[in-house]
Structure formats: C-alpha cells, structure tokens
Amino acid sequence: DTEVTQTPKHLVMGMTNKKSLKCEQHMGHRAMYWYKQKAKKPPELMFVYSYEKLSINESVPSRFSPECPNSSLLNLHLHALQPEDSALYLCASSAGLAGNEQFFGPGTRLTVL
C-alpha cells in the first residue's frame, strides 16, 4: 500500500474557526511532511516530523499547529486563519532521512472566508 490519505478533501472556514486537517499513511514511513501549495506554484514546505518529533518548522505562523500522535498519523490544527491562507494543503511521507521516494496525499483544498 503506497497511499497517503487526507481528510477532509475540502474545507471552508471562517477566520474565527478552529479546524484540523488529518493525514494517514501505513507504509511504515518515519518522516511525514506538511506542504502548502498555491495555484500554479510548487509545494512549499511547512513542517517535517521525523520519528514523531518535529524536525523542521519553516517559520510557519503559529496559527498553524502540527501534531504527530503516532508514526502513522499527522494532523494540522488551524486557528484564526487569514484569507491568504487559502490553498491546497498536502501531506507527504518518506521512509527517512536518506534520499527516498516521497509520496503525497491528494490534499485538502482550504478556503478561508
């Protein structure tokens, strides 16, 4: 199974809402990633978890809060977002630090009103 799943597929939220994005993989991968992708742009790295510990935070605003409850799950908690945060949020996983295949999920299309 080489699949990364993400829920929900679409999310519309107001600037005062709190919501969460979820990601799951069962490939035994120990690195999991959150990316943000704007239209016609490449994915932009937000966070990396390695062995369930936060390894990289690309200076992401605190209104985005990642969580890795276990080796298969990755969450992104959203609070007080801005309209410019509207984007496709992608989760990905890879086996580890060495150059390995990185598999992406289908993404969550987020719209902030």
Question: Among 15, 28, 38, 55, which residue interacts with other proteins (rule: CB under 8 A)?
Answer: 55
Query: Is 90 an interacting residue with respect to other proteins (CB under 8 A)?
Result: yes
Specify the residue, 18 or 41, whose C-beta has the smaller distance to other proteins.
41
The SS3 call for residue 91 is strand
Determine if 98 is a binding residue for other proteins (CB under 8 A).
yes
Q: Taking Cα atoms as reference points, which of 12, 19, 10 lies closest to residue 113?
A: 12
Pairing of strands 10-13, 31-37: unpaired
The residue from 14, 101, 111, 113 that contacts other proteins (CB under 8 A) is 101
Q: Cβ 64 to other proteins, closest distance in Å?
A: 18
Pairwise CA distance, residues 13 & 18, whole Å: 8
| Nearest distance from C-beta of residue 69 to other proteins, angstroms | 20
User: Other C-beta atoms within 10 Å of 18: how many?
Assistant: 12
